Amino acid sequence: MTQNIIFFDIDNTLLDSDKNLPKSTKKAIQALQDEGHIVAIATGRTPFAFENLRKELGIESYVSLNGQYVVHQGEVIHQHPLDTEALQQLTDYALEQDHPVVYVDHEDWRSNKENDESVTNAIGSLKIPHEVSYDPEYYVGRDIYQGLLFCTDGEEAEYEKRFSQFDFIRWHPASVDVLPQGGSKARGIEKAIEKMEVAPENVYAFGDGRNDIEMLRAVQNSVAMGNAEDIVKEAAKSVTKSVDEDGIEHGLKLVGLLK
């Protein structure tokens, strides 16, 4: 049997709109593993924000922080932090605009603004039992793999003009991810399959968000969720049903990995 590796996004892909894991999805993941396939995660989340899900599904390899922190069977194999000097400059400009910034590494996330409602509401929507604490200098002297910039839709355009060292991808009406320029889930997956020595034709990926677009374009066997925006669906080779309609199970059958 050919061993394939299947990367799954988390929010609105593995987890439904209420942040629950559908029974059909858990069953499908187990079936893949029973067949000898490798199941991995590719997410914008930081590792501590999906530890329980990894344990529940028995997953030991993952691409996290939108490709900036990659782990294979518990071993860190790729790290791509933000440029510290440019992050300082972005922070200074964001403070002038009254836009909070959250600094994220593999262990924690800290905000440069205390008790900000937009931060609380956006992070709260993820239903992660790990609050964002206040530490405006958290980025000093440590590797930060992702920033969360809190601004309304369209306001990130000025940041894109000013900070070419970063890519900005909206994940919430109030916030965009700040990534190293050229950093993506696609790059993280490339590092992972190099380590695992898996042929490109044996790589699959499922996703729904704008941060999944490069991944879906890069992977030979890509599937967009039915709940994804059209721009995301256009990047994928196939489109399955919505996550709330057993979309993972349906998609795995669609591409021939499950019967």
The residue whose two tokens read 């709260």 is: 124
* Whole-number Å distance between alpha carbons of 236 and 200: 15
Give 130-133 contacts, CB < 8 A, sequence gap 24+.
130/48, 130/49, 132/102, 133/108
> Which residues contact residue 170 at a Cβ distance below 8 angstroms, ignoring those fewer than 6 apart?
153, 156, 176, 177, 210
**Catalytic residue list:** 9
Task: List strands edge to edge, sheet with 109-111.
Answer: 133-134, 109-111, 101-104, 146-150, 175-180, 166-172
Please give the DSSP secondary-structure letter assigned to residue 223: E
Q: H or E element: which one contains 42?
A: strand 38-42
